[in-house]
Amino acid sequence: MCGIVGYIGHGDKKQVLIDGLRELEYRGYDSAGIAMMDESGITHYKAVGKLINLENKASEYSSNSYGVGIGHTRWATHGKPNEVNAHPHLGEYSFVVHNGIIENYQELKKELQDEGVRFLSQTDTEVIVHLFEKFNNQLDNPFQAFEQTIAKLRGAYATLLITKKDPETIYFAKNGSPMIAGKDDHGSVYFGSSDAALIGKAKEVTYLTDGDYGFARSGTIHLFHAGESMVPAMVPLKSDKIYAQKEGFRFFMEKEIYEQSSVISDTMLGRVLDDEIHFDEIPDGLFDGIREIKVCACGTSYHAALASSYLFERLSQIRASVEIASEFRYKEPLLRTDTLFVVISQSGETADTLEALKMAKLAGIKTLALCNVDNSSIVREADATILLRAGIEKGVASTKAFATQMMVLWMLALYLAKDKMTAEKYRFDLEAMRLIPGLAKVNERIHEKVKRLSKRYLHGHGFFFIGRDIFYPLALEGALKLKEISYLHAEGYPSGEMKHGPIALADSELFTIALMPQTLLYDKTKSNIEELSARDSTICAISPKSFELADDMIRTSEQKHPMCEFFEMMVILQLLSMEVAVRRGNDVDMPRNLAKSVTVE
């Protein structure tokens, strides 16, 4: 996830771009860059790290003559966060910025290289500028060249391009990544990845939709879709910046829950192929001689780790064990060199996880990190890293990071299962995987139902979230979400374990949130819940099948694969904890006593 901005006008181009990028810095901050063009030509600056580094570097520049500018703040997906990989990317006479992932960039790059084009960066983005110049050299028509360029791109993109061949114009295209275009009363045009970058500048905006492209020049936005010229639908721009960063959602947590579908798609891009799983990030030999996988993490990431142990054993047929990092550090663990040590962390800075990783390295065993923040301490320490591509997560309660962790872990389990599963079973998983972005989309009807139901779950003496198999770690995660933002006591438990003690707590003030998937151990789970119902526990069942003993029922869709049910139920649990917290008047994004990144032990 990155942020992009664009500007055409008489104002101080550098300042307009930097102001816009500052509002988008939450989307990525491992490098930033700007390019401005006016009558004196093109000037560009790039800097690694936070925006302030770019501001310092460009401090001498100013231009108030009419011209154009584009800017970018980067959150690395392809290529290390260094200056060469920072945007804007340069061709012979044009610059481009891009947010998203060009899925077919390798094949396009190869074609261009075969034709003699020299690439400077490791990014997917650079193909856009070279393709554009190739077509423009043939056609001598920048608009047609741009149209042909975007027709070649597969994947997600929001992109802006400026070129010396048409110096007062910005070319734009949007497909799968956000982009907004706006205007003021003085003939200026603005672009941004979110409203926040345009607030205080543009008066009215148009929210571009997937497949939109065009160019802006002399205060006018020329919009096209599927070859047809369109009239942009302009609406007045709101003036509240924090509201804009939340893109209309009440909380960052809510926005992040709603984003899950699209970030899961990003996670899958270029990795879930037609008939196999592919990870560019896995170096040759990483799995050679490995007989066990040990997965280590904290909090939500630990729940993902626990769920993965079922997948590694069932699909990949590799022994898998799971460790809570703070426990692992002091238990004097026996580490063997035929073990792959996998750490999972959203932030990449969690002290316990980082120390556990260092211990594994010291013991000489191979390490792999699953992490959301490139260049974080954990990423730098591990032998190899698979980035989650969830984008920046602001809510303290982790949601989309968990979703992408689960996705990567499932992909990894399948990657390792290639020669161990029958072709039919392998295909079954691969096909199920492709359904997940759709299933992780928030169903508004269910969200409304959860909002209404939440009023019944504000008191009581506790919650038990229960499930079996992979739905047990999901139950743990549901309970953690509720605890951390509603401040109500909640436990996650394996359904079959309730009778070994916790059932003694059952009465009408004990709330049981029962995960009852139809594809995995339905009858066993049902019996366990009947036992609780018989002791008068209040039951909220989450299931595609109706359950007559439920006091409340949230119906999920009929699915064939347990992971499809998993992701659907995950969203419901997240919404439930959020709506309970809202009703209790709590600070959803910054709950008491917690921090987003736990860098102490």
Smallest distance, ligand M6R to C-beta of residue 594, A: 6
Q: Cβ of residue 437: shortest distance to ligand M6R, in angstroms?
A: 22
Grouping H, G, I as helix, E, B as strand and the rest as coil, residue 200 is coil
Distant-in-sequence, close-in-space partners of 221: CB < 8 Å, separation ≥ 6? 181, 183, 189, 206, 214, 232
Q: Which two tokens stand for residue 594?
A: 């917690």
> Would you say 240 or 587 has its CB closer to ligand M6R?
587
2 belongs to the catalytic site: yes
Q: What is the token pair recorded at 439? A: 């299933």
Residues at the interface with ligand M6R (CB under 6 A): 298-301, 345-347, 350, 353, 396-398, 480, 484, 594, 597-598
Handedness of CA 79, 80, 81, 84 (dihedral sign): negative
Q: Per-residue DSSP letters for 322-342?
A: EEEHHHHTTS-----TTEEEE
CB 445 → ligand M6R: shortest distance, Å?
26
Residue 214 to residue 206: CA distance in whole angstroms: 13
Q: Is the peptide bond before 88 cis (omega within 30 degrees of 0)?
A: yes
* Distance between CA atoms of residues 574 and 584, nearest Å: 16
Select from 600, 195, 582, 269 the least CA-distant residue to 397: 582
The residue among 193 and 399 lying less far from ligand M6R, judged by its C-beta, is: 399
CB of 330 to ligand M6R, least distance (A): 18
Q: What share of the chain is helix, strand, coil (3-state, %, to 5)?
A: 40, 25, 35
Provide the strand spans (E) within 490-571.
Answer: 490-494, 510-515, 538-543, 552-555
Position of minimal CB gap to ligand M6R: 299
Q: Give every CB contact of residue 331 below 8 A, 6+ residues apart in sequence.
A: none
Distance CA 515, CA 470 (A): 10
Residues in CB range of 152: below 8 A, 6 or more apart: 104, 108, 131
Burial (Cβ within 10 Å: 0-12, 13-18, ≥19) of residue 226: exposed
Q: What is the DSSP string of 246-290?
A: TTT-SSHHHHHHHHHHHHHHHHHTTTB-SSSB--TTS-TTTTTT-
Shortest reach from residue 556's CB to ligand M6R, in Å? 22
Tell me whether residue 103 or residue 254 sits nearer to ligand M6R (CB atom).
254
Closest CB to ligand M6R among 372 and 538?
372
Instruction: Kindly state the smallest distance separating residue 120's Cβ from ligand M6R, in Å.
Output: 33
Cα 515 to its chain centre, rounded Å, is 25
Decide whether 38 or 381 has the Cβ nearer to ligand M6R. Answer: 381
Given the complex with ligand M6R, which of 235 and 594 has the nearer CB atom? 594
User: Least CB distance from residue 94 to ligand M6R, whole Å?
Assistant: 39
Number of H helices, E strands in the chain: 17, 25
Q: How far apart are CB 312 and ligand M6R at their closest, in Å?
A: 19
* Catalytic one of 2, 296, 540, 564: 2
The residue (of 225 and 361) whose beta carbon lies closer to ligand M6R is 361
The residue (of 111 and 355) whose beta carbon lies closer to ligand M6R is: 355
Give me the catalytic one of 152, 165, 203, 596: 596
Residue 446 to residue 542: CA distance in whole angstroms: 11
Answer yes or no: 540 catalytic: no
**Is residue 404 helix, strand or coil?**
helix
Q: Which is nearer to ligand M6R, 360 or 480 (CB)?
A: 480
Catalytically active residues, by annotation? 2, 596
